[in-house]
Amino acid sequence: MRMAPLLTALAPFLLLPALLAGLGHPAAPAFAGYAAGLFLLAVAALLAIGIARLPVFCLGGFAAAGAGLMPLLTLDLEWPTAAALAVTPLLGAGLGGLVRLSIRGLDAVVAAALLLALLLGLASLPAMTTEPGQTGPALDLDGWLLLPLGVTAALLLAARRFADSVIVRLHEAAVLARLPADGIGLELGTLRAVALVLAASIATLGGGVLALGPATMVGIDPADWVALSLALFAIGRLGGGRLGAALLAALPLALLPKLTVALAPQFVDLTLAAALVAIVLQLLVRADGSPAWQPPAPTLGGSLGQSRLGEQRWAE
Amino acid sequence: MGRMTTDLVLDQPLRPLMELVAVSLVVRGTVAIDRVGCGFDATSITGVIGLDPDDNERPTGRAALRDLVTGHALPNSGTLRFGGLRIDRLGPSARVRLGILAMRRRQLLTTGSVRDMLLAARLLVSRPTLRLVLDSGARSSEEDARDIDAILDFVEIDGLAERPVASLGGLEARLAELARCLAQRPRLLLLEHPFARLGAADREQLARLLVRLRKAALAIVVIDDDLATLGRVADRCLVFDRGRLIADATPAAIGASSRVYRLLTGSEL
């Protein structure tokens, strides 16, 4: 993983909250939480969509599940906020595993429809556990804080090991060369299962972070999470397997809505607008960063790329 | 004890390493393979040729056969066995781990050096996938590295070991791809058009290499249109026409069959 582009892409996520805090803006803590949540969601999109190339439209649903779980644990069960945040990835891991099992072997269109239905179901969870106008649970700066920090660090470390693994690098090379990766022994099922479970865990954690207070909890409306899912899909595609690119693609979400949500509660509309911008960008720019209106760069991939009988013309 | 072993061997009919029994495959409503039965023996080279291979409207069935062997297509009926094990429903990556490797017309991965590619290919078949997925620091063992050096030497591309794969062309690229297959411990090696667009000297070098590989107890299947080279290296040839296997015999027998010769060449014997 090259660090310079990554740090460049990460800078806005670090500098903007610092800038707001430096200016003494009251929305600074909320924005810091939002930036951290968005960073986690971009990582999740990178894993599931950018690297594993899964048609996962429901990452926003996983985030919604995390956001919906937080008030349930902290308000109803009176858990410490940090402990609640630390267990959200478990829900994500379970959901990710179930999703992987349920879409395994399904036709892409059927899988996408199933995931869309799951997204709609999960997106309504925050509305079921949170009252409109309710403030999110605040994260206290005490010993419990180490728990979610440790879980986050472990998940990000696992994500990094996954992204840098031999099998992912070979998969990426095969995709770029338009070769069927399984023809050289890449077991795509395992790769996709790990990617989905990791992505769902991180997305659920990201959703939990988005639900943190002390500001009014945002994203109670299911439409928010559906829009976020679409945006994450575009972010994953734009990222093309590079975290730096995924973070840059997530910048519109970071810059447009939350900077202004501190000034005006237009979050929903702006999120939708940002999602649409991202989708249009996705149509205009390929995953490798080249413009869609130019011919694709030549690859040196061989005839393995034509090997699937159902996808090739009858040429021998 | 020795007698028992002998009896067991005698009781078992000799079976090819890979066996297709009444296999059919339908693709988009077209019968691509029609009740084909054939086998590929270890320590043998089987040539696969087709009538009218340039006629895209009338596929010979060789691409379908290739995909049935590699697992990129699963049969609609019939059975496939490999080493006595039914593999009808096994996918491509599982078949690679069993030792069914395919070398296609052009080169494979385009990142890193030839040695890097071979080491990575070896890792894919020598480590559990989950470990490879979660371990960014997975490295080849010294034994693997020695094996790769031996393979580079065997294929006579040890001088290309540090060359970027992307810089290779022609015979070099094919030999590197063949070395990749060998790095993955093949038991059956399917080569698709290995002789296409090669000069006479390069074809000869590749043919000699295949003959040496046959001695290493590999079942080698060669799909190609170069009848002259196939005739020299293959132990037997399968002739396909629109998904049907119309001949399965030695090259000499096929050459002597006036009907097949006429169908293949368009001229009388």
**pLDDT (tens digit, 9 = 90+) per residue, A280-307?**
665 566 555 555 555 444 333 333 333 3
Q: Once rounded to an integer, what is the mean pLDDT over residues B109-114?
A: 74
Rounded CA-CA distance A13/A247 in Å is 9
**Cβ-based neighbour number of residue B167 at 10 Å:** 13
pLDDT digits (tens, 9 = 90+) for A135-173: 778 887 777 889 999 999 999 999 988 988 888 888 887
Which domains does chain B show, CATH number per domain? Answer: 15-99+188-212+220-269 (3.40.50.300), 100-185 (3.40.50.300)
Decide the pairing of beta strands B44-50 and B30-40. Answer: unpaired
**Taking the CB of residue B64, how many other CB atoms lie within 10 A of it?**
29
**pTM (2 d.p.):** 0.76
Quote the pLDDT of residue A287: 56
- The CATH number of residue A129's host domain is 1.10.3470
Tell me which of A8 and B114 has the higher pLDDT: B114
Percent of chain B topping pLDDT 70: 84
Helix (H, G, I), strand (E, B) or coil at B38: strand
Range of the structural domain that residue A36 is part of: 3-311
Residue A292: inside a domain: yes
Q: Is B46 on the interface with A (CB under 8 A)?
A: no
* Band of residue A63 on the pLDDT scale cut at 50, 70, 90: very high
Query: Per-residue pLDDT averaged across A179-194, rounded?
Result: 85
Average pLDDT in the B172-185 region? 92
**How far is the first Cα of chain B from the last one, in angstroms, to the nearest whole number?**
55
- Give A16's pLDDT tier (boundaries 50, 70, 90): confident
Q: Which residue of B has its CA nearest to A160?
A: B136
Task: Write down the pLDDT at residue B226.
Answer: 87
Q: How many domains in chain A?
A: 1
Confidence of residue A270 (pLDDT cuts 50, 70, 90): low
Between CA A255 and CA A273 the distance in angstroms is 12
- The model's confidence at residue A309, banded by pLDDT at 50, 70 and 90, is very low
Is B163 in a helix, a strand, or coil? Answer: coil
B56–chain A Cβ distance below 8 A for any pair: yes
Cα–chain-centroid distance for residue B209? 14
Are B61 and B25 a contacting pair, CB within 8 Å? no
pLDDT at A314: 31
The answer to whether residue A200 sits within a structural domain is yes
Domain-embedded: residue A180: yes
User: Is B3 a residue whose pLDDT tops 60?
Assistant: no
Burial B173-185 (b: 16+ CB within 10 A, else e): bbbbbbbbbbbbb
The whole-chain average pLDDT of chain B stands at 85
Contacts of B188 in chain A (CB under 8 A): none
d(CA A243, CA A66): 22
Amino acid at B10: L
pLDDT-based confidence at residue B87 (cuts at 50, 70, 90): very high
Q: Flag whether A316 is in a domain.
A: no
Tell me: pLDDT of A259 over 50.
Answer: no
When CB atoms are compared, the residue of A165, A304, A314 closest to B59 is: A314
B50/A186 CB distance under 8 A: no
* Nearest neighbour of B62 by CB, restricted to A165, A168, A316: A316
List residues of chain A with CB under 8 Å from any CB of chain B. 158, 160-170, 173-174, 176-177, 179-180, 182-188, 190-191, 194, 299-304, 307-310, 312-316
Q: Which residue has the tokens 């023996």?
A: B41
Please name the amino acid found at residue B7. D
